Amino acid sequence: MVELLQKLNIEGDIMVRAGQGILKILLVILAVKLSIRLLVALSDKFYQRQAESRFVQDTRKVITMSALTKSIITYTLYFIGLTMIITIMGIPASSLLATAGIGGLAIGFGAQNLVRDVITGFFILFEDQYAVGDYISLDKHSGIVEDIGIRITKIRDFNGDLHIIPNGNVSNVTNHSKGDMRVMFDIRIAFEEDIDRAVKALEKFFEDYRQKEPQLTAGPKVLGVSDLADSAVVLKVWAKTKNMEQWRIERELKKGIKETLHNEGIEIPYPRKVIINK
């Protein structure tokens, strides 16, 4: 009878300790989740103030650092929580280090891509290769950078697809958002038209357009005759705009040029057939 009671007491103690361990693990998980939410909210608030500050010139860098800070907070707290859970489970830190030493080589081979992603991510940020909001091309993918983490970069292309690229795979980067963007295209007028008259009409339109378009940084202007085609004189138009405004301004310029030439009675050539009846 005494042995039975002792056995029951031992089993009861084991169940109590197991229950306490599970409760501690749940509390650690809850604390980690709440800490991540709190610190991320504080980080967002801090960087929002920085972005709204009049001393900050480039808000894209602020947004990029905000995304990086949130990644660091998340990974750091997950690591701390995992370490605490392992300790609660009764695995001492010395044993954990010994296990890490024994299996370090195998883990190293498995985690080398992760380490490469993290190191490359820091170089991307410190070298300012690109930032959140930039229009870039990474190998075969092009689009707007939505997020930069310490391990991955997220790019949204113009079709709406989201490309998630490990930072370790980033090799050739083309940043289309550094500096002003160029607008250059050709327009055609008939051979019979007066070139100087056409250029004068276009320059008048360009002068009016410059007054109402603050995103222009240079031009627009007619560079001159770029080609003599089969049925047209080709004029080249050039301008510079602020970042990501080049497509809109090019569309507006082409529309305005067509209307200007039409109003001035200057013919824009188009394919035609002449039938001679003998």
Q: Which fold has domain 2-102?
A: Helix Hairpins (1.10.287)
pLDDT tens column, 196-205: 999 999 999 9
Domain ranges of the chain: 2-102, 181-263
Judge whether residue 255 has pLDDT over 50: yes
Q: Confidence band (pLDDT; 50, 70, 90) for 234?
A: very high
Fold of 181-263: Alpha-Beta Plaits (3.30.70)
- Quick one: pLDDT at residue 105? 46
**In this predicted structure, what is the pLDDT of residue 252?**
93
The stretch 124-151 carries a mean pLDDT of 82
End-to-end CA distance of the chain: 129
2-102 against 181-263: fold identical: no
pLDDT band for position 25 (50/70/90)?
A: confident
Inter-residue contact 172 to 223 (CB < 8 Å):
no
Q: CA triplet 253, 258, 261: central angle to 5 degrees? A: 120
pLDDT attached to residue 198? 92
Query: Based on the number of CB atoms within 10 Å of its own CB, is 239 exposed (0-12), middle (13-18) or buried (19 or more)?
Result: buried
Provide the pLDDT confidence category of residue 65 given band limits of 50, 70 and 90. confident
Instruction: Find which of 82-86, 156-160, 166-170 is predicted with most confidence, using mean pLDDT.
Output: 156-160
